[in-house]
Amino acid sequence: MGLGADGERPAEGPAASVVHNLTKRRETLATVESLTGGLLAATIVEVAGVSSVYRGGLVAYATELKSQLVGVSAELLAGRGPVDPDVAVALALGGQRRCAADWGLATTGVAGPGPQGGKPVGLVYVAVAGPSGSAVRRLELGGGRDLIRSATVVQALRLLGEQLAEVPPAAGGGA
């Protein structure tokens, strides 16, 4: 990252911070998105140098694609629906596996305009799967559809950043 006009390094956003940390650790990332519909991946790939760490991602908006493309158990989806903490973790794990990455990052939830499957607008789960396990966070977001989606991206990146800070780098990095 270059220096600003004042000679100072610009403040890093969560995507730049995650990419920098993954690069330093020599580890890779994959994404699986539902309600964010590619916004998470687009945010990540805006960072210069991301090609050394970002393996790719899947947008599995339809429930059956979460099973067919990502490998989430059809029974889990049928029993819980797509907006569920265990589904979020399964999405992260599926992305990690399918893209042969060290880390998987996933989003699922309801962005609106109305409830889905009995789940309220603004209920979101973000999950991360890494070398030593997984973590999931429940979010209850307000605002319109665009705000919910953009806030989800920020929260997913923050969750990954926290996990990177807590989990020691894999030996030698790489999936």
Q: What is the CATH number of the domain that holds 81?
A: 3.90.950.20
**Residue 2 counted as domain residue:** no
- pLDDT tens per residue across span 102-161: 999 999 999 999 999 999 999 999 999 999 999 999 999 999 999 999 999 999 999 999
Rounded percentage of the chain residues whose pLDDT exceeds 90: 87
Q: Cα(51)–Cα(55) distance, rounded to whole angstroms? A: 8
Question: For strand 133-140 and strand 123-130, is the pairing parallel, antiparallel, or unpaired?
Answer: antiparallel
**Residue 114 counted as domain residue:** yes
Helices marked H in the chain — which ranges?
14-25, 39-45, 63-68, 74-80, 85-98, 145-166
In which order are the strands placed within the sheet that holds 133-140?
54-59, 29-33, 103-109, 123-130, 133-140
Which pLDDT band, with edges at 50, 70 and 90, does 8 fall under? very low
**Residue 171 counted as domain residue:** no
Which pLDDT band, with edges at 50, 70 and 90, does 172 fall under? low
Which pLDDT band, with edges at 50, 70 and 90, does 1 fall under? very low
**Residue 69 counted as domain residue:** yes
**Residue 146 counted as domain residue:** yes
The residues with which 56 forms a beta bridge, in sequence order, are 30
**Residue 1 counted as domain residue:** no
- pLDDT tens per residue across span 38-76: 999 999 999 999 999 999 999 999 999 999 999 999 999
18: containing domain = 14-166
Q: Cα(83)–Cα(108) distance, rounded to whole angstroms? A: 6
pTM: 0.91
**Residue 3 counted as domain residue:** no
Q: How many domains does the chain have?
A: 1
**Residue 53 counted as domain residue:** yes
What was the pLDDT predicted at 13? 93
Q: Quick check: bond before 169 cis, omega within 30?
A: no
Which pLDDT band, with edges at 50, 70 and 90, does 175 fall under? low
